[in-house]
Amino acid sequence: MEVIRIEGGHPITGEVTVEGAKNSALKLMAATILAPGVTTLTNVPNISDVHVMGKVLKKLGATIKVADEHTLVIDTSQVDRWETPYNLVAQMRASTAVLGPLIGRFGKATVAMPGGCNIGDRKIDMHILGLEALGVRFDMEHGDICATVPDGLIGTSVTLEFASVGATENLMMAAVRANGTTTIDNAAREPEIVDLANMLNEMGAKVHGAGTPVINIEGVSELHPVTHEVVGDRIEAGTFIAMAGICGGPVTVKGFEPDHLGLVLKKYEMMGLTIERGNRQVTVSRTQPLRPVDIQTLPFPGFPTDMQAQTMCALSLAEGSCIVTENVFENRFMFASELSRMGGHVVIEGHHAIVHGVDGFSGATVKAPDLRGGAALVMAGLVADGVTTVYDIGHIDRGYERFVEKLQGLGAHVERVDVPKIG
Ligand code: UD1
């Protein structure tokens, strides 16, 4: 099995370019179902979650050609099945993103009910309630959710209880084919939602207001395939920014819109980083000690939960204490206990974490608890005393392409190593 081994204490400097956003690419891939024919997606990250979504589409009857490392040519003209089995949903919860497009195109879908995952229960009740309002009937059978649309999809008004990214996306992808207009109130506003709306509109849909809390969707009778470029990955960018922040930099991070990290950049500046914003890039450096800053995660434009672990890692090295509040997912503090093996001092109280700054980390053997927590452990290893070995790196490969190679390009002493399984 492979692990990531990091020798701490080496500076990182130079330039790194991020890939297309995982969270956008997965939904755009699902959306190709809505437009029978050949859709080309460019700037697709070569990561394992994208490979799983590829399997989901193939299972439905699509063919996928990898035109080059970051370009997928997806032919959905022969899609003739509508079932997504548990083994795929269990590998990746975002497989449920095919629910809306299958309902939109075929008026039926069978998707395995996702179970819990290591960052919490992650229910899909809001997806279901919203789709029911559009006329979808759901039956639970043998662990699967079976959707049918007995009287066609009818546009309506839906108010989401929470600005859920996945629910907003599934509703948008069904509503584009509904009869009449659908309004989604309290919609998620993430840049990935805007990217999906842009692609749907290029396909001939009429989606207005994406990026605001109210999205209006006028249903159309058909959608056509397009070529679309995936938006840059703001979270991959944020991860490298956080790394540059603890190491000192300067590091230039390219390939994303700095506006998509508005509050993150602001908070990192409050922590003492110097950040120069440019055209689809930022340059990060730090010459003063890290300062403690409270953060709370919230839906966009709030502080992203996907930057919580990396930021907790940085705050652990600040001069003083602060509070990190997780409002989006239950149980997303597992990173803190792994970090304690490296000398971190974080006290968890419900959905608050009290982060006490320490003088430094000491290299240790740790396990990636999830995708972002895994990246944050590698980050801690960059400045730790001695060697850090991160196990369970499959989590990291889900969302970061050539993570080790990119860090090596910045001068980090990091490598993937084959080791015997522990335990
Ligand atoms: C997406 C992102 C994930 C990011 C999250 C929040 C993808 C593949 N994943 O996840 O990286 O951290 O947005 O920015 O795009 N909830 C319910 N019922 C529902 C739907 C959600 O209770 O029907 C809860 C979830 O359990 C969670 C919260 O709402 O506590 C937010 O979930 P949501 O915004 O839907 O996140 P995802 O789309 O799963």
Check pocket membership of 187 for ligand 1, CB cut-off 6 A: no
| Rounded average pLDDT over 288-310 | 98
Tens of pLDDT, residue by residue over 4-51, are 999 999 999 999 999 999 999 999 999 999 999 999 999 999 999 999
How far is the centre of ligand 1, averaged over its atoms, from the C-alpha of 299 (Å)?
Answer: 9
Residue nearest to atom 9 of ligand 1 (CA): 23
Tens of pLDDT, residue by residue over 245-272, are 999 999 999 999 999 999 999 999 999 9
| Rounded average pLDDT over 325-351 | 95
Check pocket membership of 75 for ligand 1, CB cut-off 6 A: no
How far is the centre of ligand 1, averaged over its atoms, from the C-alpha of 300 (Å)?
Answer: 12
Distance CA 317, CA 383 (A): 10
Q: Pick from 165, 296, 303 the residue to mutate for probing ligand 1's pocket: most ligand atoms within 8 Å of its CB.
A: 165
Q: Which atom of ligand 1 is nearest to the CA of 188?
A: 34
pLDDT for 116: 55
Say which residue, 330 or 367, is predicted with more confidence.
367
Residue 357 has pLDDT above 60, yes or no: yes
- Are 49 and 92 in contact by the 8 Å Cβ rule? The answer is yes
Check pocket membership of 125 for ligand 1, CB cut-off 6 A: yes
Residue 119 has pLDDT above 80, yes or no: no
- Provide the 10 A C-beta neighbour count for residue 345: 14
Nearest to 72 by CA among 29, 23, 31: 29
| Rounded average pLDDT over 322-342 | 95
Overall pTM > 0.75: yes
pLDDT for 11: 96
pLDDT for 118: 62
Residue where the block lists tokens 């089995």: 85
Tens of pLDDT, residue by residue over 76-96, are 999 999 999 889 998 999 999
Q: What is the DSSP string of 145-210?
A: EEEE-TT--B--EEE-SS--HHHHHHHHHHHTTSBSEEEEET----HHHHHHHHHHHHTT-EEE-B
Confidence of residue 139 (pLDDT cuts 50, 70, 90): very high
Q: Which two tokens stand for residue 212?
A: 């605001």
Catalytic residue among 117, 247, 313, 322: 117
Tell me the β-bridge partners of 362: 385
Q: Which atom of ligand 1 is nearest to the CA of 304?
A: 14
Check pocket membership of 122 for ligand 1, CB cut-off 6 A: yes
Distance CA 338, CA 392 (A): 12
- Helix 191-202, helix 165-175: angle, nearest 10: 10
Describe the strand order of the beta sheet including 83-84 as a list of residue ranges.
83-84, 108-112, 144-148, 137-141
pLDDT for 291: 98
Residue 121 has pLDDT above 80, yes or no: no
SS3 1: coil
Tens of pLDDT, residue by residue over 236-246, are 999 999 999 99
How far is the centre of ligand 1, averaged over its atoms, from the C-alpha of 166 (Å)?
Answer: 6
Confidence of residue 330 (pLDDT cuts 50, 70, 90): confident
Q: Which atom of ligand 1 is nearest to the CA of 305?
A: 12
Q: Please tell me what DSSP assigns to residue 301.
A: T
Q: Which atom of ligand 1 is nearest to the CA of 24?
A: 15
pLDDT for 23: 98
Check pocket membership of 234 for ligand 1, CB cut-off 6 A: no
Q: Which atom of ligand 1 is nearest to the CA of 126?
A: 23
Dihedral, CA of residue 69, residue 75, residue 80 and residue 84, to nearest 10: 20
Residue nearest to atom 25 of ligand 1 (CA): 122
Q: Which two tokens stand for residue 314?
A: 């940085």
Residue 58 has pLDDT above 70, yes or no: yes
SS3 211: coil
Q: Please tell me what DSSP assigns to residue 292.
A: P
pLDDT for 141: 87
Check pocket membership of 165 for ligand 1, CB cut-off 6 A: yes
Confidence of residue 115 (pLDDT cuts 50, 70, 90): low
Please give the mean pLDDT across all residues of the chain: 96
Check pocket membership of 158 for ligand 1, CB cut-off 6 A: no
Q: Is 117 a catalytic residue?
A: yes
Residue 421 has pLDDT above 90, yes or no: no
Residue 423 has pLDDT above 80, yes or no: no
Tens of pLDDT, residue by residue over 146-176, are 999 999 999 999 999 999 999 999 999 999 9
SS3 326: coil
How far is the centre of ligand 1, averaged over its atoms, from the C-alpha of 165 (Å)?
Answer: 6
pLDDT for 380: 98
Q: What is the DSSP string of 55-120?
A: HHHHHHT-EEEEEETTEEEEE-TT----EE-HHHHHH-GGGGGGHHHHHHHHSEEEEEPP--BTTB
Nearest to 99 by CA among 22, 26, 204, 184: 26
pLDDT for 117: 59
- Residue 112 CA to its chain's centroid (Å): 21
Check pocket membership of 123 for ligand 1, CB cut-off 6 A: yes
